[in-house]
Amino acid sequence: MRQLLRAVPSTLWKRNHPTTGNTHSRLVLSSSLTTTPATTTTTPATTTCRWLSSSSDDDSNKNNNNNNNHNNNNNEKTMSAATIIPGSTGSAYGSLGDTYPQQLYNAPATAWQAERNADVQRVTQNAMIYELTQQQASTIQNVVPWFLEHMPASYFRQVPEQFRMDHIKAIASIRDANMDLYLNLKSHSHDGRVIYTFIRPGTQPGTLLSMVDELPFDEEKPLSRLHAFSALDDSMSLNMFVYGNKQFHEARPIDSPAMHDILELAAQVQAGTSSTNIAPNPIFEQDALLQYLQKCSDNYLNIISRMPTRFLQQRLLFEQVSGTEGCEVSIEDAAHEGKKHYWVDVAVANTIPQVALQHTCRLLYVQNFDVKRARLDVIDDGDNGSVTLLRLLVEQPDEAGMDTEHLCQEIKRSKWLDNTTMDLIFDTYPWLGVKRGEIITGMCSLMHSIFAKENPLVYSKGNIMEMMTHRRTIAHASKIADLFLDRFHPDETQRCSDDVALAARIQEIQTGIESDVENSVKIQLLNKMLDIVKHTYKTNVYMQNRYALGFRLDPSIMEPNPTEDKIYEEVPYGILFVHGRRFNGYHVRFRDIARGGMRLVTPATVEQYALESARQFDEAYGLAFAQQLKNKDIPEGGSKAVCLIDTNNLNLTAHSKNFVMRKSVKAFTDTVLDLVVDTEETRTNIVDYWGKKEVLYLGPDEQVIPEDINWIIQQAGRRGYATPAAFMSSKPKAGINHKEFGVTSEGVNVYLDVALRRTLGIDPTKDSFSVKLTGGPDGDVGGNEIKILIREYGECVKILGVADHSGCAEDPNGLDHAELVRLVDEVLPIANFNAKKLSEEGDLHLVDSEQGVKARNSMHNRIVADAFLPCGGRPNTIDISNYKQFLIPGTGKPSSRLIVEGANLFTTEAARKALYEDAGVVIVKDSSANKGGVITSSYEIISAMLLSEETFYANKKQIVEEVLSKLRNLAKLEAELLFREGDVYGAPLPEVSKIISNSINTATDALSAALDTLSEDDRDQLLPLFRAHLPKTIADLAFDEVEQKVPEQYIKNAIASSLASKMVYKEGTKFIDAQPKEKLASVALKYIRKEKEVALLMDSLRDVDMPDEKKQEILRLLDAGGARTALNFA
């Protein structure tokens, strides 16, 4: 009897199921089964219903006594079993159709028992047991033959016996209860894995998708396997989802039958004697295949080994995506399974298996495919991560033909589609298709950046998306997407590239908009979408394996109203916009060859994300423009990439957030490579209306980690970038890590040193002075600046306050130097400062309280110090609305008379001007103060071009010392000029800084253009300038290979920037401004010749017999103005 009762699972696991129109009762069950290969045990759990269970005679007697006493006390009547036992009244629906006698409502909880006679109770109990036993036995007799006949053979091969028995018992229980077949069973394997079994009636399209949507998400035990089955009579779907991975460490024996069959077929393939259509491949060699087999789970091998051909096919798919972030799909006819049946095999690298399954099922459902069977496995890929293998048997119910290529591409794209795009093309407008859906959502995100500055509420991303996908506008948006696709179609016969034809198409669409759309904002947005079509130079929309959608834009598109006053100070050279899954990214550059950092922005809340989204492009523009100003000493122009990543609405743990960030970095940078590399693949699939080679280099910025750097360099190599090692700076081994060597801080401190002497009359090596800084001891610029201050000035410097993301430490007597250095060395934030090291007047504020947050946010304003060093913090922290908080209350005097900007854009331009005019604050602008980082990255780029990784690493110590020496020298030259020119112009230093940068950049551009007109001999005479630009060790090792390894334009830019900065630092900006633009290049070339003549003259004077003091004075005068004076005699 107990064996039969165990057919009813002992725990209840309820989940809501989408309404299907069936109004029958449903019972959703779960059995908590701890399963071993030999036994199955049941673990009871608290439930919301009471299950029948047998009890011992002692328990029954005890209940009898209690009930007799209770019944005697209440003098209640005895009721017959026929009125108590559900279903015994003869109603077609059991007791569910009866009207209960009134006394039933007043009956005790054990009213089914006899009230006075224990014998009657025992008879009643036995009668109930007999009736239930007969009913269940009858049901099981019907269920078992049906189950064995109609479940597919693959079910019995793949599912262990104990699980099959559980399934039969659960199905029989539900059939016996006359309920719909909705079952959710939860089981546990002996090794800790969790198995969810979903059983549903029917096999209609969307059944598997609805189950996947119901699945829990377990980050610690992710989905690792799926077995999906349909009954052969289509009456039932049974799917098993396995969470967690079985650990296996022992090498498998080669002589097992499973291994033998696979190895034998592989040998036949390699020998060319196989009957399959699989081509020979090195991965099928025995040693390589055995190595791969060790990665596979026992369960996978036990199943797949029965089909060696399928195993080799999946091995090929694995190889195609191994070490990448890609997805490969194979579709073959499965006629032996039925008419219009197909096998779909998918291999997805480094994905969340549950997400990959959900996306694939969603796509198949939208395209009306019914998933008949499915299997999912995860194969370890070593250091590369993992590969999810998904195999589905699908049926296409309608009579439409099978477009295999189209379905493959749609499945590939599903990994990288944003949720907004998926909702649009899967739920709202399935007829749109993936490409059009991506184009529309991408353009909506781009328009948000363009218009948000006018009205962030009206032009929020959500509002724009809603307006463009409204039922009255979606048809017009779809036509614009079609025009975009036609304009960039790889097939010239289908391309709309003719200007006349393009104008006609645009006019036709605009006419339809004017006649059909009344809302002025919608009209404005639709017309802007047409502008985007016209102002896009190239796109990767037709790249077969793209990770995101990229646009190479004409920068003028970013002006919301081109006919009105321009918003941006200078038009960038180029803008790349990338729209991807959970991110949007901009890359802005101001010269053809440009370099700048890539930063990741991950707002913590939906509200913060909206704010950052509205200003994303402006941040990228501002940072790139600042980079252009600070790149004046190097061959590369300024650029910046800002990738805004949505990590909200996911209940993300740190691991999941990191996963999304790393995927976004890969998708963004691979899309940038789509748009800049010149390979057969890009020439075939990308139509280029720009027509010029594009060279850009990236560097790490906020939240970019070494893992990202390594992947980007490797991917650049895979994608055919000419100098992949140069594509990303700060490589862990062959790079110069900014934080490790403190390169930015070294430059900042040079400017601080000069400014203290020139502005405050302080000799920091002798006189006591005080500073405050933002950017903690664990940060790049802040931490290194703390160490450099203490290294250079010792006890002369008092660090009165430090603030970072964790809080702030303050002490009017100066924070303990040793404690600060400890935090820097251990990479700890200021919150870890030992409070015992503070004086009585000191304080440590943490951001775990509102008061602590306020103290941290106001530290840079409150503390009075000689100098303020912003070495970290968000852009625009000090702006025109709050700059007065930097002044001492009631006095109008600044809390610091000197600011040296180690962080980019910490202070707005308007705030800088106000602080100078209202309080006389001297500010060394970011584009001057923190240029040491870009100088270092530039040298890293050229070293990657000229030296192998091994050669660089062998000479790294000396190269780094030479780079630091060069950047300190360039910082000293500009700092001295900055204060000299400040005296000349009588202007605030930030304005003088821009004047210097613009002067050098203007001269560089003129010289670079002029170099194109020089003869080869003349250019060769200028090569020594390039050699002088290089660190000595790099020049000694590889200068003779410069012309073979370095792009010609890069060499010209390097010569031009070196000569331009040399002239400006020596002669001043007035000298450059006095030259007619058309003659500037010729003057510069004459200048370099005269400089050589003066150098020879100085060498000859060194041997002249005269008093040394006079000799040195003459040499000093010649060095300072000889070349400039010589020009007047030319």
**What 3-state class would DSSP assign to 102?**
helix
pLDDT of residue 1010: 86
* Distance (Å, whole) CA 34 – CA 5: 18
Lowest mean pLDDT among 221-230, 801-810, 891-900: 221-230
**More confident of the two residues 904 and 651:** 904
Residues 6+ apart with CB under 8 A from 493: none
Q: What is the pLDDT of residue 115?
A: 56
User: Catalytic: 787?
Assistant: no
* CA 825 – CA 827 distance, rounded (Å): 6
Give me the mean pLDDT over the 288-293 stretch.
89
Average pLDDT over residues 659-684: 96
The band of 1088, judged by pLDDT with boundaries at 50, 70 and 90, is confident
Asked if pLDDT for residue 920 goes beyond 70, the answer is: yes
pLDDT at position 985 over 80: yes
Looking at residue 83, its pLDDT comes to 31
Confidence check: pLDDT of 248 > 60? no
Mean pLDDT of 819-830: 97
| Residue 651 confidence (pLDDT) | 61
1063-1066, long-range: CB < 8 A, 24+ apart: 1063/1003, 1063/1087, 1064/977, 1064/996, 1064/999, 1064/1000, 1064/1003, 1065/973, 1065/974, 1065/977, 1066/1120, 1066/1123, 1066/1124
pLDDT of residue 247: 62
Cα 860 to Cα 867: distance, rounded to the nearest angstrom:
10
Confidence at residue 85, expressed as pLDDT on a 0 to 100 scale? 28
Residue 539 pairs in a beta bridge with 551
On the question of pLDDT at 40 being above 80, the answer is no
| Neighbouring-strand partners of residue 575 | 553, 588
Question: Residue 825: CB partners within 8 Å, gap ≥ 6?
Answer: none
What would the 3-class secondary structure string for 612-636 be? HHHCHHHHHHHHHHHHHHHHHHCCC
Residue 940 has pLDDT above 80, yes or no: yes
pLDDT attached to residue 668:
98
**Mean pLDDT of the 56-67 span:** 40
Note the pLDDT of residue 1097: 85
Domain 554-728 has CATH 3.40.50.10860: yes
Of the pLDDT bands very low, low, confident and very high (cuts 50, 70, 90), residue 127 is confident
- φ and ψ at 986, to 5 degrees? 65, 30
- pLDDT value at 65 more than 90: no
Q: What is the pLDDT of residue 874?
A: 80
Name which of 137-141, 473-477, 587-591, 780-784 the model is least confident about. 137-141
Greatest mean pLDDT among 432-446, 1008-1022, 1042-1056, 1086-1100: 432-446
Lowest mean pLDDT among 223-237, 782-796, 1002-1016: 1002-1016
CA dihedral (831, 833, 834, 838) in degrees, to 10, reads -110
Whether pLDDT at 950 is above 70: yes
Total Cβ atoms within 10 A of residue 616 = 21
Task: Please check the confidence at residue 114 and state whether its pLDDT lies above 60.
Answer: no
Q: 1032-1042 burial, b if ≥16 CB within 10 A, otherwise e?
A: ebbbebbeeeb
The structural architecture, per CATH, of the domain 240-415 is 2-Layer Sandwich (3.30)
Q: What is the pLDDT of residue 284?
A: 94
Cα(598)–Cα(621) distance, integer angstroms = 13
Helix 606-614 vs helix 616-630: crossing angle, to nearest 10: 50
pLDDT for 650 equals 61
Share of the chain above pLDDT 90, in %: 61
Tens digit of each residue's pLDDT (9 = 90 or more) over 28-38: 444 333 333 33
Q: Give me the pLDDT at residue 391, please.
A: 94
pLDDT at residue 353 is higher than 80: yes
Say how many C-beta atoms besides its own lie within 10 A of residue 345's C-beta.
Answer: 19
Distance from C-alpha of 820 to C-alpha of 388, rounded to nearest angstrom: 47
Count of other CB atoms within 10 angstroms of residue 1113: 11
CA distance 378 to 810: 52
Provide the pLDDT for residue 412: 92
Q: Provide the 3-class DSSP secondary structure of residue 728.
A: strand
Do 581 and 418 contact (CB within 8 A), yes or no?
Answer: yes
- Res. 1081 pLDDT band, cuts 50 70 90: confident
Give kind and range of the element (H or E) at residue 327. strand 327-333
For the chain, domain boundaries: 1-190, 240-415, 416-534, 554-728, 1086-1130
Is the distance from CB of 916 to CB of 907 less than 8 angstroms? no
Show the tokens assigned to 436.
């059009």
Q: Are strands 549-553 and 574-580 parallel, antiparallel or unpaired?
A: antiparallel
Q: Which of 39-48, 380-389, 399-408, 966-975 has the lowest mean pLDDT?
A: 39-48
The neighbouring-strand residues paired with 624 are none
d(CA 607, CA 710): 33
For residues 43 and 871, the model is more confident at: 871
Using DSSP, state whether 237 is helix, strand or coil.
strand
If phi over 0 gives left and psi between -120 and 50 gives alpha, with beta otherwise, what is residue 371?
Answer: beta
Query: What pLDDT was estimated at residue 986?
Result: 86
Does residue 799 sit in helix, strand or coil?
A: strand
| pLDDT of amino acid 536 | 98
Residues β-bridged to residue 373: 393
Residue 252: band (very low, low, confident or very high) from pLDDT cuts 50, 70, 90:
low
Letter for the amino acid at 621?
A: Y
Nearest to 424 by CA among 401, 447, 404, 443: 443
Closest CA to 1046 of 943, 961, 936: 943
Q: What is the mean pLDDT of residues 25-46?
A: 37
The region of weakest confidence among 177-181, 309-313, 679-683, 931-935 is 177-181
Tokens of 258: 């499973």
pLDDT greater at residue 50 or residue 1076: 1076
Mean pLDDT of 671-695: 96
Q: What is the CA radius of gyration of the chain?
A: 37
Check whether 99 has a pLDDT greater than 50. no
> Looking at residues 1000-1020, what average pLDDT do you find?
85
Report whether pLDDT(24) > 50: no
Mean pLDDT for the stretch of residues 892-898: 97
The confidence score (pLDDT) of residue 254 equals 58
Q: Under 8 Å CB-to-CB from 502, ≥6 apart: which residues?
A: 483, 487, 496, 534
CA-angle at 86, arms to 81 and 87, nearest 5°: 100
User: Phi first, then psi: what are they for 390, rounded to 5°?
Assistant: -125, 125
Cα angle for residues 603, 609, 612 (degrees, 5° grid): 95
pLDDT for the residue numbered 39: 37
Q: Is the pLDDT of residue 20 over 50?
A: no
> What are 260-269's pLDDT values in tens digits?
888 999 999 9
Q: Higher pLDDT residue, 672 or 333?
A: 672
- If one compares 424 and 729, the residue with the highest pLDDT of the two is 424
- Residues 6+ positions from 889 with CB-CB distance below 8 Å: none
- pLDDT for res 189: 85
Which of 415, 640, 925, 1090 does the annotation list as catalytic?
Answer: 640
Q: Is 137 a residue whose pLDDT tops 90?
A: no
The mean pLDDT value of the chain amounts to: 86
Specify the amino acid at residue 610.
A
pLDDT, tens digit, for every residue of 840-862? 999 999 999 999 999 999 999 99
Strands (E), 474-558: 536-539, 549-553
